[in-house]
Amino acid sequence: MKNSFSLERLAAEVGGTVRGDGTFLLTGVASLESAGKGDLTFLTNPRYAKKAATTGASVLLTEKEIPGFSKPCLLTSNPYLALAKIIGLFYPSAVPSQGAKTGSFVDATAKVHPHASISPGAFVSAGAVIGPRSILFPGVFIGENASIGEDCLLYSNTTVRENCVLGNRVILQPGAVVGSDGFGFARDGEKYVKIPQVGNAVLEDDVELGSNTCVDRAVLGSTRIGKGTKLDNLIQIGHNVVIGENTVMAALTGISGSTQIGNQVIMGGQVGIAGHLKIGDNVILHTRTGVMEDIPEKGNYFGSPSSEFSAEMKRVAASRQLPELIKRVRNLERALEKIQGIKKDEK
């Protein structure tokens, strides 16, 4: 049966304020364009305010009342966060039944909590530990002596290699790999000799890795990702990297080996960071920034090589004027040549 909630119930859940009929019963959540009767829709970006006037939704979730909008509203200081909670209420995640299912493999020396769920096709190696309420979907591989904490979600075809550690409430999206070998090779004449990667990778509580993101194990010691950090799809974290808490990275970012990233760092897509660098707390790296030296101070950075955001924007603005400036210089050169020619004739 489809979930339904009164407006006042939703307001209580998200700490919001009702404008209009709080007893109105809502049956779903939808976008401004697709919402219909009984739906709650949301306005988290002011640029879409005009669309709110024409939405078919019954209730609008937003930060401030919109002039001329006559339907009930749910007002909150953080509508995006409230939306996340409301979607979770209407569409709770399905929970598989507990235990190891037929078709899965669990080594006799592994310690799997009876309240964990091991799906068909999942493989749990010798000495591994799986915590309570953690879910391994089909195709998951857990290496020897790896440790998975409580309430973790490991989606299909994810890998946690030997000796690696996941804290509690860690989420690995499909194809994520924890503990792959770091890119370490020693030159021997014209060939390369592989350096054994004998460390591990540690993901602390509430970390999430996107699809096909790879976190390499350390050569020695640990590659570590701090509590609450979220990584998008297709990200590469090199060996011995240390990332702080509550840092976020967008897709196609790459962090080279032994670099240290602080807390509360924000990285846009396609950021690249060279190895053995230190990035401080609360740094913002905009899309396609290339970092080649330490950034110890909080601030906004952009460009390749990276520089302070406002300075880089001035350079970008100046570069856009170059075609017109070149044209003006050429015209001035032609005018000067004519003047010089006239002076020569007068002599």
Ordered by start, the domain boundaries in the chain are 5-90, 99-310, 318-347
CATH superfamily of 5-90: MurE/MurF, N-terminal domain (3.40.1390.10)
Tokens coding 93? 């995640």
By annotation, the residues acting in catalysis are 239
pLDDT of 156: 98
What gap in Å lies between CA 283 and CA 277, rounded to an integer? 14
Q: Are 185 and 167 in contact (CB under 8 A)?
A: no
What gap in Å lies between CA 288 and CA 137, rounded to an integer? 34
Q: Which of 38, 88, 31, 89 is nearest to 59 (CA)?
A: 38
Residue whose entry in the numeric block shows the structure tokens 């000067």: 336
167-217 confidence digits (pLDDT tens): 999 999 999 999 999 999 999 999 999 999 999 999 999 999 999 999 999
48-76 confidence digits (pLDDT tens): 888 888 999 999 999 998 888 899 999 99
pLDDT-above-90 percentage for the chain: 86
Asked if pLDDT for residue 346 goes beyond 70, the answer is no
Q: What is the CATH number of domain 99-310?
A: 2.160.10.10
φ and ψ of 82, to 5 deg: -60, -40
Please provide the DSSP assignment of 139-164 as one string: T-EE-TT-EE-TT-EE-TT-EE-TT-
